[in-house]
Structure 1
């Protein structure tokens, strides 16, 4: 999570002091327990903030239904399951940026980024230049997702939150398995790399002099993505519901196990081994008759299973209601419904997705700006002004309805825009070119079928009979 400091107190942001770096690292460590807890819930190892779990829930004899993972995986699929589409502004060119996206497998990257945002509420993207395979000097822009537990972005405390620099501490070990820290500091001009025996930097713990390398991005090459204004995960407010539901399920299983451990109680007689009798190889005790006041019964746990099930369903309903993620196992959710009816069922989810995609778009614009900067340094003619970024929620749709809407709207909506309504089309301009080629080919085929003369034909059938050589 970004750390805001006074710009004047930061000093030279192109070469931050060790004192300033240590202050930022210490501030970041205060947030680590919360981030670790949230991701542990996703991995199925929940615990309270500030605690360190010693074993997994199933090792402790607990039942853990991972509703946290369910929410995150569903949100990732809904948000970026369909690829994000980009359209250049009028008269602008972003082809080289789209080429970088293809080479960096941006779709996979966006899914990793969305998972981190959903689980921990914040995520970071690092831009860097990597060598082209088989070359020693040629580089290409590259992008990778950085876990928020391993990246520190420092901004000023103005309303603009201008980026000052970023810190990435990485714990490593040498061939002797001796651990040390590599602290990378990204400024607007280059990257400083410190190698230290400890995470907290000091002149005595530095293993060598810091190294510096220019990166050519003309800005801090780190982008912060937010899940929402509060930087909360998608299930962070439902942690208590997750815990209570799992506690209920654990108690239900233990009640079932204890049910078979019933205790027999006898009245009016005892079970003395000396009174054992044998019959057919079996030993038994002959109990007195009921007339003599003798009786035997079992003491067993009793519970209202139907009442417990009602409570479980109520907890689950509240969980899905407050997280806005539908329960796809609900019989009332599925069924033969129209696309419009499905939208009303998913109305709450669509509202949440509009917030998530709005904040993601802010980060993507910074991504495009960084790529434009470095590509222009490489002599590429790219311009992101007026670029259109479109998210397509990966939700159940009625494709035939959308196709009919595209057909009926051609008189007042350009086809280039309406083609973007389809979830599996991420480059409407390319599809429009294919449609034009298909129309021209269809015209050519129809002309041949009707016997029309092609433009490039050398046939002399249209010449006068007396001019045809015999």
Structure 2
């Protein structure tokens, strides 16, 4: 899906906004289809009914949800670590992350991007003039970029359909507007300035094509649902198979007796010529099983998301596991680069606001470090061995970052330094170990 483009030098009017809203509404059927796939409302549930005399099972195997949740658990199940070399900046960032429950915010952004191909984050100021952010799906929001080679955000729209027409907001690089009106025309009112220095809506994309993580296997998912449902229909058919009786005439009472009691008592001079057996359809069980296996393998292969429930995963060695996860690792690496680009835009605007409040320098966002950790089973012993071998080769902070259970290497270094100071007697303590002298990061005991 290509992004919306508008000439940078042209005026943004109600007519322009209305035109882009109509273009966005043309995309809603695709978004709804992807949402339905993730939520288990698959095409087989709405197919035409079969005649009443035929079994009509409709089974849904929700590969779309499995692929999305497995990939995002692997990609961002362990929260992203954001750090800065300056402790003051680090504290400001931690406070912003905590206030906005950023671990959950980023997990939802990642999941939405995987479902729809992209998702949005909106920055705003709360009642206490604190910078906050929240996630938003592309069902009611979009960004328009300029027509330059850089394709910088020009404006963003968040809207809803009401009984009276359209209502919502437009965000530009320096202002926020209210929009209202109907198909006769939209108007922009209530201009409010903001100080983010850019459009306060950030787009997070799954990939450059803005495709869902399971969009490439949509037809395979539908084919699997159909094949499995037909197999269930066959099981019902055989459980309800017709019986044929050749060479004997039965009245209605006799048929009822056989059906109710399940007993056949056929006799006569030519009883050996009587045929009594069930009618059977040709058995396609082997073909069906081969088809289901093939489709399942292709779903995981094309989506590049590993089937972690496969028995072979439990017995795989470290190297073998790496090879099995390599396609998903490549997919996560590409998404990480897109995610970092969005996070850079977020913190650039956040630091611009903080700069006006004299808390940090506006350009310090450039020195933020993002650490993504893939959520896979870890061998702590191997990690400790690797970290030990890095001693004297890399910095202590890099050495600690090898350990998956260390959330913040910088804070861990500070703890180590404080413990060393206590051990060396720099900070005398009372018997229970509490510090009794003041200092940075030291609690005084009264």
Range into which the TM-score falls when normalised by the shorter chain:
0.7 to 0.9
Offset at 1:302? 4.1
Q: Highest Rg: 1 or 2?
A: 1
Change (3 A) 1:273 1:312: closer
Q: Does 1:2 align with 2:3?
A: yes
CA distance in structure 1 between the partners assigned to 2:31 and 2:264 by the alignment:
63
- The SS at the match of 1:327 is coil
CA contact (8 A) 2:43 2:222 kept: no
- Alignment of 1:79 onto 2:69: no
* C-alpha RMSD of the superposition: 3.1
Contact 1:268 1:292 in 2 (8 A): no
For 1:440-455, list aligned pairs within 5 A.
440-443=421-424
1:380 aligns to 2:359 (yes or no): yes
Specify the alignment match of 1:100 in structure 2: 96
User: Residue 225 of structure 1 contacts residue 360 of structure 1 at CA under 8 Å; is this kept in 2?
Assistant: yes
**What is the aligned partner in structure 2 of residue 453 from structure 1?**
none
- The answer on whether the counterparts of 1:275 and 1:285 sit within 8 Å (CA) in structure 2 is no
Instruction: Report if the CA contact (8 A) 1:88-1:387 is conserved.
Output: yes
| Aligned residue number for residue 52 of structure 2 | none
* Corresponding residue SS for 1:97: helix
| TM-score of the superposed pair, with normalisation by structure 1 | 0.81
Q: 1:43 and 1:275 mapped to 2: Cα distance?
A: 51
Whether contact under 8 Å (2:131, 2:350) holds in the other structure is yes
Q: Structure 1 residues 292, 104: closer, same or farther in 2, change over 3 A?
A: closer
Q: Could you tell me how far 1:37 is from its partner in structure 2?
A: 0.9
Task: Kindly indicate whether the alpha-carbon contact (under 8 Å) linking 1:125 and 1:145 is maintained by their aligned counterparts in 2.
Answer: yes
Q: Distance in 2 between matches of 1:17 and 1:277?
A: 78
CA contact (8 A) 2:145 2:153 kept: yes
* TM-score between both structures, scaled by the size of structure 2: 0.86
C-alpha displacement of 1:215: 2.4
Q: Distance in 1 between matches of 2:246 and 2:220?
A: 46
SS in 1 for 2:312: coil
Work out which of the residue numbers 19, 23, 26 in structure 2 matches 1:27: 23
Q: Does 1:39 align with 2:35?
A: yes
Give yes or no for contact 2:141–2:156 (8 Å, CA) kept in 1. yes
Residue number in structure 2 paired with 1:324: 304
Aligned match of 1:305: 285
Residue 461 of structure 1 aligns with which residue?
none
- Shift of residue 194 of structure 1? 2.3
Report the CA distance between 1:434 and its aligned residue.
Answer: 0.8
Q: Does 1:67 align with 2:63?
A: yes
Change (3 A) 1:256 1:440: same
User: 2:344 corresponds to which residue?
Assistant: 365
Conserved 8 A contact 1:263-1:299: yes
After TM superposition, list the pairs within 5 Å mapping 1:204-243 onto structure 2. Answer: 210-243=189-222
Q: Distance in 1 between matches of 2:253 and 2:284?
A: 41
Shift of 1:125: 0.7
Partner of 2:126: 130
Shift of 1:110: 0.6
Return the alpha-carbon distance in structure 1 between the equivalents of residues 48 and 387 of structure 2: 55
Quote how far apart the aligned CAs of 1:289 are: 5.0
SS at match of 1:31: helix
What is the alpha-carbon distance in structure 2 between the residues aligned to residue 442 and residue 336 of structure 1?
44
- The alpha carbon displacement at 1:293 in A equals 2.9
CA distance in 2, matches of 1:62, 1:276: 33
* Higher share in helix: 2
Gaps of 5+ in 2: 50-55, 430-436, 438-446
- Decide whether the 8 Å contact of 2:34 with 2:215 is kept in 1: yes
Q: Displacement of 1:98 after TM fit?
A: 2.4
Partner of 1:4: helix, strand, or coil? strand
Bigger shift: residues 234-243 or 323-332: 323-332
